[in-house]
Amino acid sequence: MQGRLPGWFYLAGKALARSNRGLLMGRWPHQLGLLFTSNTNLGPAAEKDPKLVKEWTLMVSPFGLLKARLPCHITVGALDPHKYPDSDQVLVALKGRDSDPKDLLVNYDEARKEVMIISDGVDGAASLDVRTPVKFDLDIKTSGSGSVTIEQMQSASCNVETEKGASLLKSIKSQKIDIRAKGGDVTCLGTLQGNTDISVSQESSVNVEKLQGSSINVTSENGLLKAKYLYADASFLTSAAGDILLGNVHGDITLETKTGSITVDSSEGSLKAFTYRGEINAYVLRQTGEVNLVSQEGSITLKVPATLQASLKLSGTKVEVSPEIQLQDIQTVSRENHVTVTAPFPLPPRSSPVAGILTMTPMPPPPPLIWLLEGPVTSRPPQHFSVCY
């Protein structure tokens, strides 16, 4: 199997007191004080206790859209359902010592059910704290070092795009989640639930606690891709040079990196991993499809439970089978510094939790190594490893 290796609009204007497209109320801090606070980190450029400049309250219809185009930090979170049971307001607070509200357009289009927060002139060190109904679509883009924080929201779509700013998402449920970063890191806490597409470039990294959806795609250039839990029918993670580190993964998953290494702590489903120079370390807890591991110049180490039954084929310049693995009718063929080890299906059942380790070591320049496993095994080599159940 061949792996597929990789490869903003400014509206000037003042905040409107009223418009024929909706109701907007501006309030200065010496009149009414702070509407809400947020403990969310707005990014490294944000002040510790930023000055409140102005607040807005927008009367809205539920199930609307928040559209933001900003050069500064923005935090989006859900209204307190006990204080706002009708979910008919959006609260906006501008903070920052050098911030001028005249540089910010805040408006609500009633016909389109769209809240717009737009500026390219507001100070980059400023921050916006926005509270919307919990079920609100999000379309947020920041330029420069503007970062984005989104907390505990539900939506049909959640789109985030940053340049150098970081993206922090916490407990998001959406039918479609799309995150783009050109230099900032992406961090996801809690569960990101929905079909997810995360794409980062340059040195941006992706660090996710839990991803859950039917389809998940994560790509990077040189940054690390890391996920603690991954539950999806189909997942595809790829990086040009970054490492891929996964904890518990479920479903059909494909991993690709040119020069990085791949680690999978536990896999339940089918697993395909490809790297040119990096190492592959994987533990197949339960197999429902093919397990195919390929490294041209790195080593591969595969662990499986002794109770997993499968046939096995390992191919590399050097193949080592742990003595804990009891194979029957094993066949070894050596030819031109290349060794192929095969054992027929099924492997005999064993009571030990892990069958052992298979290790294969490459010799420069090694030919592609091939592993075909359908059962318990562990290995460490440069090769093409394939497991079929």
- Are 145 and 124 in contact by the 8 Å Cβ rule? The answer is yes
Q: What pLDDT shows up at residue 266?
A: 95
Q: What pLDDT shows up at residue 49?
A: 65
Helix H or strand E encompassing 118: strand 114-118
Amino acid at 291: V
Per-residue DSSP letter, 29: H
- Global model pTM greater than 0.85: no
CA pair distance 308, 5, nearest whole angstrom: 31
- Are 239 and 225 in contact by the 8 Å Cβ rule? The answer is yes
Q: Spell out the residues 6+ positions from residue 245 whose beta carbon is closer than 8 angstroms to its own.
A: 224, 225, 226, 227, 263
List, for residues 161-187, the tens digit of each pLDDT value: 999 999 999 999 999 999 999 999 999
CA pair distance 256, 271, nearest whole angstrom: 11
Q: How far apart are the first and last CA of the chain?
A: 17
Count Cβ atoms within 10 A of the Cβ of residue 351 and give its class: 0-12 exposed, 13-18 middle, 19 or more buried: exposed
Q: What pLDDT shows up at residue 24?
A: 42
Q: What pLDDT shows up at residue 371?
A: 44
Rg (CA), the chain: 26
Q: Which residues of 325-337 are buried (b: 16+ CB within 10 A; e: fewer)?
A: bbbeeeeeeeeee
Block means of pLDDT (10 residues each) for the chain, length 389 residues?
38 35 40 34 50 94 96 96 95 89 94 95 92 97 97 97 97 97 96 97 96 97 96 96 97 95 94 91 83 84 74 76 71 82 59 40 41 39 38
CA pair distance 117, 101, nearest whole angstrom: 11
- Are 161 and 69 in contact by the 8 Å Cβ rule? The answer is no
212: nearest Cα among 198, 193, 228, 189:
193
